[in-house]
Amino acid sequence: MSAILEAKGLTVGYGTLAVARELDLRVESGRVTLILGPNGAGKTTTLMTLAGALRPLSGEVRLAGECVTTPLHKRVQQGLAFVPDERGAITRLTVDENLRLGPGDAARAFELFPELKEHRKRRAGLLSGGQQKMLALALALSGKPKVLLCDELSLGLAPRLVDRLLDVARAAAGDGVAVVLVEQHAHQALDIADDVVLLAHGRIAMSGPVSALRADLDRVLATGYLATGAQATAPPV
């Protein structure tokens, strides 16, 4: 199957400082790709570059087979949705107002997260952290994107809410969306992922189908690798 989103020889960073180098990624429609790595490994920077929020230092990003250099708002028009690690909605606006300004159908958003209906007149900034994440993901998916990029959906949330959000992301893949997750709740995310990319020292240390790599990944995660910070060394597998 051809990839809907690709990175070829991608080096990402800020100014002249490279954070991750020479990345080759393929993301296919209907599959969930999980990017893992300790803090500082370049996960978020990679995701922001794929989204168009940052320019690559070198290499290229391809969307639907075409090299793209456009910023985020243009990629959204091309079928990409991005849920950042912080607020993904306008906090001073109500849930209803956010959905009216969003890319898709508000009814679709409430289908995904019916629990938002009772808060539709509340300002997004007054929602709980979990409700804000639901709204951000609902906004992204209401436009029926081809590609969904999510950065730390689980940040600061209870496991029950993490499962709820990851289940919706998995269901989106079931509907044909290509999903890319950056996630610290590695074991929960691996349970719904098809493919995985492990970053170490700004490079890809391991990548492939989760089904083929799960035992190796469990050994890596058992070392506490993700919690050890940017200078961690991934154990041999």
Structure confidence at residue 230 (pLDDT): 42
Rounded-to-integer distance, Cα 113 and Cα 115, Å: 5
Least trusted range by pLDDT, from 48-57, 65-74, 84-93, 127-136 = 84-93
> Taking 90 as the threshold, does the pLDDT of residue 43 lie above it?
yes
| Whole-Å CA distances, 222 to 31, 67, 143 | 26, 38, 38
Rounded-to-integer distance, Cα 11 and Cα 23, Å: 6
Structure confidence at residue 69 (pLDDT): 95
Whether the Cβ atoms of residue 41 and residue 200 lie closer than 8 Å to each other: yes
Structure confidence at residue 237 (pLDDT): 45
- Model pLDDT for residues 176-232, shown as the tens digit of each residue: 999 999 998 899 999 999 999 999 989 999 999 999 999 999 888 888 777 655 444
Structure confidence at residue 223 (pLDDT): 84
Give residue 209's identity as a one-letter amino acid code.
P
Structure confidence at residue 236 (pLDDT): 47
| 86 or 194, higher pLDDT | 194
**Token pair listed for 99:** 């959905």
Angle CA 50–190–221, to nearest 5: 100
Q: Which residue has the tokens 């400082």?
A: 17
**Among candidate residues 69, 81, 49, 63, the one with its CA nearest the CA of residue 2:** 63
Report the C-alpha dihedral over residues 112, 131, 82, 19, rounded to 10 degrees.
Answer: -140
- To 10 degrees, what angle do helices 129-142 and 159-174 make? 10
**Token pair listed for 233:** 């060394």
> Taking 70 as the threshold, does the pLDDT of residue 3 lie above it?
yes
> Taking 90 as the threshold, does the pLDDT of residue 96 lie above it?
yes
| Whole-Å CA distances, 14 to 8, 18, 22, 82 | 18, 7, 15, 19
Q: Which residue has the tokens 């999980």?
A: 34
**Token pair listed for 228:** 């050890």
Predicted TM-score (pTM) of the model is: 0.91
Whether the Cβ atoms of residue 180 and residue 149 lie closer than 8 Å to each other: yes
For range 83-91, the mean pLDDT: 85
Superfamily of structural domain 5-79+145-227: P-loop containing nucleotide triphosphate hydrolases (3.40.50.300)
Give residue 98's identity as a one-letter amino acid code.
N
Confidence band of 233 (pLDDT split at 50, 70, 90): low
Structure confidence at residue 228 (pLDDT): 54
**Among candidate residues 173, 205, 220, the one with its CA nearest the CA of residue 192:** 173
For range 121-125, the mean pLDDT: 95
CATH 3.40.50.300 segments of the chain: 5-79+145-227
Whether the Cβ atoms of residue 80 and residue 145 lie closer than 8 Å to each other: yes
DSSP 3-state assignment of 42?
coil
For range 134-139, the mean pLDDT: 94
For range 75-89, the mean pLDDT: 89
